[in-house]
Chain A
Amino acid sequence: MEPDGTGVWRELLDDFQKKHPNVRVRLVEGPPATDAREEMYSSSFLSGDAAYDIVYADVIWIPKFAAAGWLMDLTGLVSPADREDYLPADLEAGMYHGRLYRVPAYTDAGVLYYRKDLVPQPPATFDQLADLSERLKTQDRYGFLWQGKQYEGLVTVYLETLWGFGGDWIDGETRRVFLDSPEALEALEFLRKAIGTISPPAVTTYAEEETRLLFQNDRSVFLRNWPYVWTLLEQTLRKDGRAGVAPVVHAPGHSSASTLGGWGFAISRFTQNPDAARQLVEFLTRPEQLSRIQLRLGRIPARKRLVPPEFAPILKSARVRPEIAEYAQASDILQRWLSAALTGRVTSKTALLKATRETRALLGDVR
């Protein structure tokens, strides 16, 4: 579980225990870094122990965990009515080989924040974004902030850019790799050229929080980030209507596509208490509970009826990252080469060719 800073998870579990006095639930708080929590679960599962009955899982863990046989099949746990209510992309992200392993709880998708007082109409295309940034940047204000550090966040930013240009990374089904396409190069060049012009030179070290803090402190016109920022801006930029939220940009003739993130619940194959675990997952994913988390943590529930109106159109265009068991390797290959190109170690072309070759070798995409 993520660190329970506000104590809201504890409250939910207390409520559950009031209704199920014979079930004892223990909340284990992990580190804030999601990679570290993934490894926390992995090492426990590798030793085959039942330390965790329930996994609070990121979308991208599911193929690996399911392929390893660490998760219970939860296909029967979601009623047809709930199936209708969940956002389709979030439900899909919990599937592996046609079975459901993760019940969605909260959704996440990349969005573009902009300064309403400076930009009346948010940009729709890459060129508009670059032009506005160039025009409105000052000594103390950058144009466009995004996550450029070598980590998963960079992959999500790149994918949105790549999809916006009409390209793709990997087809999860056929396991084919498309990183040697002209669109892939266009997308990478867009980000590379932004560094030092409309984006700060050190953007290649920024994760979500660094960029959020800069934007919140009036240091940028645009920010690519996740919906959680919206709640945090409430006391600052949003108070006098200076912040707006829009879909991420795209190239003319293509459409905007956000990378889908989000969290849900899975049940460990090694659990000694499958029934209690099912009851708890069922309880935590009910609209009442999801709303409470939404109120306190600013998360967007993965249920259609609870999605705030300003995010509804953006979430419709959210796309899942490839559902392959080797996701971690594929992502690391991409992260390394993207970062190498963005920091000038190699040219964009070389980076993409190397990444294509390594990813094809990994997935057995022989041509």
Chain B
Amino acid sequence: MKTHRLEAGSFLWFLPAALLLSGIVFYPILRTILLSFARRSLATGFRTEFAGIDNFARIVTDSRFHASLWTTLVFTIVSVLAEFVIGLALAISVTSIRGGRNAVRAILLVPWTLPTAVTAVLWAWVLNDQYGALNAFLLHSGVTQTPIGWLATPASAMIAIIATDVWKTAPFVFVILLAGLQNIPRDLYDAIEIDGGGAWAKFRYVTWPHLMPFSFVALMFRAVQAFAIFDLVWVMTGGGPGGATETVSIYTYRTYMRYLDFGYGAALAVTTVAILSAAAGGLYTALVSKYERTF
């Protein structure tokens, strides 16, 4: 009897949070899912009509969505891998520093603390063909005779946004992995040394397995954020040139806000989330199962 009252009481405590969450999380999700099965746009006079799976059928044949999905995938995979490798290298080298480690860590964190839009404007200027610092450097050092329009061609624009993203978020991976490295007991390395193992053995049998949960957190956070990339691309290229850097979130935003096609916009959002969940699930299974097998 007593436990029963306690449960009812604890439920009451939980209620405000539950209401708040359902208001700002579950309701929009539910609405978006419902809307993805509806026709609601400027063409219907903003009336909602049941559309069945029409919106999803349109996604299957929508070459612009396929292109943006591909762009997003390339961006996510390349930038997250690069950030991981650079973040890991930075973390390992900073761990081996004796003095001034905190200062180095603080300096390395600066790019991460800048707002993305500011980072994007900054790099767009560095890469500017007429006034940019990079071209000034290349022209002066004689690498090139004419300034290069880094954001002017599809391939170089893609490289530019990936590089900017890596510059900004490699520090995030670095901090997470640094925390992981500092948690590894020293005596494990000593044990390897006694067994006659070198630097590679230390990395392979101590550092890497211990970093696995931290790597998972870093990769997961970065992958989800990279997949939803919007502000960086919006400011640097607006999705151009020729739509070469248009990501799914930019396409979805345009469908909603510019084309006022809410049913289809919702279907795009739902599809993106479904793909992302599947990918995250895959990553989780791959990494965590591997981690558990290691021990």
Within the complex, the shortest CB–CB distance from B159 to chain A, in Å, comes to: 14
Q: How far is the CA of A286 from the CA of B278 in the complex (A)?
A: 60
Within the complex, the shortest CB–CB distance from A32 to chain B, in Å, comes to: 13
- Knowing A202-B147, A205-B241, say if A343 contacts B152 (CB, 8 Å): yes
Q: How far is the CA of A205 from the CA of B156 in the complex (A)?
A: 12
Query: Nearest residue in A to B147 (C-beta to C-beta)?
Result: A202
Chain B residues closer than 8 Å to A342, beta-carbon distance:
241-242
Q: How far is the CA of A343 from the CA of B151 in the complex (A)?
A: 10
Is B34 part of the contact surface with A, judged by Cβ < 8 Å?
A: no
A67–B149 contact, CB under 8 A?
no
A204–B152 contact, CB under 8 A?
yes
Taken residue by residue from 137 to 157, chain B's Cβ proximity to chain A (1 for < 8 Å, 0 otherwise) reads as: 000000000111101111000
Is B257 part of the contact surface with A, judged by Cβ < 8 Å?
A: yes
Query: Nearest residue in A to B67 (C-beta to C-beta)?
Result: A336
Chain A residues closer than 8 Å to B149, beta-carbon distance:
200-202, 204-205
What does DSSP make chain B's interface, helix, strand, loop or mixed? loop
Is B260 part of the contact surface with A, judged by Cβ < 8 Å?
A: yes
B258–A43 contact, CB under 8 A?
no
Q: How far is the CA of A203 from the CA of B243 in the complex (A)?
A: 16
Taken residue by residue from 62 to 106, chain A's Cβ proximity to chain B (1 for < 8 Å, 0 otherwise) reads as: 001001110000000000000000000000000000000000000
Is A197 part of the contact surface with B, judged by Cβ < 8 Å?
A: no
Q: How far is the CA of A332 from the CA of B240 in the complex (A)?
A: 11
Taken residue by residue from 324 to 359, chain A's Cβ proximity to chain B (1 for < 8 Å, 0 otherwise) reads as: 011011001001110111111110000000000000
Taken residue by residue from 241 to 259, chain B's Cβ proximity to chain A (1 for < 8 Å, 0 otherwise) reads as: 1111010000000100111
Interface residues of B in 199-249 (CB under 8 A from A): 237-244, 246
Query: Nearest residue in B to A69 (C-beta to C-beta)?
Result: B45
B242–A151 contact, CB under 8 A?
no
A205–B42 contact, CB under 8 A?
no
- Knowing A329-B259, A332-B254, say if A339 contacts B240 (CB, 8 Å): yes
Task: Report which of B130, B147, B240, B254 forms a contact with A150, defined as CB distance below 8 A.
Answer: B240
Q: How far is the CA of A64 from the CA of B43 in the complex (A)?
A: 10
Query: Nearest residue in B to A364 (C-beta to C-beta)?
Result: B43
What count of chain B residues pass the 8 Å CB interface test? 29
Is B54 part of the contact surface with A, judged by Cβ < 8 Å?
A: no
Chain B residues closer than 8 Å to A150, beta-carbon distance:
237-243
Is B11 part of the contact surface with A, judged by Cβ < 8 Å?
A: no
B241–A339 contact, CB under 8 A?
yes
Within the complex, the shortest CB–CB distance from B126 to chain A, in Å, comes to: 14
Within the complex, the shortest CB–CB distance from B114 to chain A, in Å, comes to: 20
Chain A residues closer than 8 Å to B50, beta-carbon distance:
none
How many A-B Cβ pairs are below 8 Å?
Answer: 99
Is A42 part of the contact surface with B, judged by Cβ < 8 Å?
A: yes
A68–B254 contact, CB under 8 A?
no
What does DSSP make chain A's interface, helix, strand, loop or mixed? helix
- Knowing A326-B259, A345-B154, say if A205 contacts B129 (CB, 8 Å): yes
Within the complex, the shortest CB–CB distance from B75 to chain A, in Å, comes to: 17
Query: Nearest residue in B to A343 (C-beta to C-beta)?
Result: B241
Task: Report which of A202, A203, A337 forms a contact with B242, defined as CB distance below 8 A.
Answer: A337
B260–A345 contact, CB under 8 A?
no
- Knowing A39-B258, A43-B257, A205-B152, say if A340 contacts B46 (CB, 8 Å): no
Q: How far is the CA of A343 from the CA of B153 in the complex (A)?
A: 6
Is A210 part of the contact surface with B, judged by Cβ < 8 Å?
A: yes
Is A212 part of the contact surface with B, judged by Cβ < 8 Å?
A: no
Q: A204, A337, A340, A341: which has the most chain B beta carbons within 10 Å?
A: A204
- Knowing A68-B42, A200-B129, A205-B152, say if A345 contacts B242 (CB, 8 Å): yes
Chain B residues closer than 8 Å to A336, beta-carbon distance:
64, 240, 242-243, 246
Q: 24 pairs across A/B with beta carbons < 8 Å?
A: A43-B257, A46-B260, A64-B42, A68-B42, A68-B46, A150-B239, A150-B240, A150-B241, A201-B146, A201-B152, A202-B151, A204-B153, A204-B241, A205-B129, A326-B42, A328-B258, A329-B259, A336-B243, A336-B246, A339-B241, A340-B244, A342-B242, A343-B154, A343-B244
Which B residues have a C-beta under 8 Å from some C-beta of A? 42-43, 45-46, 64, 129-130, 146-149, 151-154, 237-244, 246, 254, 257-260
Which A residues have a C-beta under 8 Å from some C-beta of B? 35, 38-39, 42-43, 46, 64, 67-69, 149-151, 200-205, 210, 214, 325-326, 328-329, 332, 335-337, 339-346
Question: 10 tightest A-B contacts by CB?
Answer: A202-B149, A150-B240, A340-B242, A202-B129, A339-B242, A336-B243, A202-B152, A343-B241, A328-B258, A345-B242
